[in-house]
Structure 1
């Protein structure tokens, strides 16, 4: 019987490279944890002290509530208390009219604390 004098490390290196690739490709989404949106910039941005509902409105006019896709805004916001603040993360390349329509729809559902999330310059 032959004694094994060395270990073939090539399969181990292959597996480690695949795992490294997986970790590196998912790391950016895990760190951000949000849908990528190019926010508008404002000099007087202020952080909100409470945990609001986050509506994300992408450049392609796709709507998300707390990072979950929403097809019916009224049904998605119906179980939420009306005193909860709502933060809209709208892509800076959207037409102003699209943003205004969204804010108007949210306010018509009874939410009065609606604000816009922006990047501070």
Structure 2
């Protein structure tokens, strides 16, 4: 019995598998990105203390920045954010709807430079 030489690989089954995986990823990706459902959380008698520190940053329509309850300049906010741990700390942004978009971009730029992963943007329904 004579053996044929293996010169080419049949890639059709591989393409079929990749296309099926692509359809699955595209179908589930829309559910993952649209996590903007408002949830009214139940209350419990026991509450676990979180290790994460929640930082509130707010900007009003005049461009006045506040860090927690203190009114600070953008540079002072930058200095304080650089001292935080980007993996552990949670940043919550509150922006006035009539504020300039540049204020938002300035804060996000600082957060992305430091590598913050836990950023939430507070909105009103």
Normalised to the residue count of structure 2, the TM-score between the two structures is 0.51
Q: 1:57 Cα shift?
A: 0.8
Q: 1:89 Cα shift?
A: 0.4
Q: Give the RMSD, CA atoms, in angstroms.
A: 2.5
Structure 1, gaps ≥5 residues long: 1-42
Q: Cα deviation per residue 1:92-112 (whole Å; 9 max; x = unaligned)?
A: 101223312321222212212
Mapped contact 2:92–2:120 kept (Cα < 8 A): yes
Normalised to the residue count of structure 1, the TM-score between the two structures is 0.53
The reply to whether residue 82 of structure 1 matches residue 90 of structure 2 is no
Q: What is residue 61 of structure 2 aligned with on the other side? A: 59
The reply to whether residue 96 of structure 1 matches residue 105 of structure 2 is no
CA distance in 1, matches of 2:38, 2:100: 21
Q: 1:82 to 1:94 in 2, by over 3 A?
A: same
Q: 1:44 to 1:93 in 2, by over 3 A?
A: farther
**Aligned pairs, number:** 77
Mapped contact 1:55–1:88 kept (Cα < 8 A): yes
Q: Which runs of 4+ in 1 moved over 2 A?
A: 43-47, 95-98
Structure 2, gaps ≥5 residues long: 1-35, 41-49
Q: Considering Cα pairs closer than 8 Å and 6+ residues apart, tell me whether 1 or 2 has the greater RCO.
A: 1
CA distance in 1, matches of 2:110, 2:96: 18
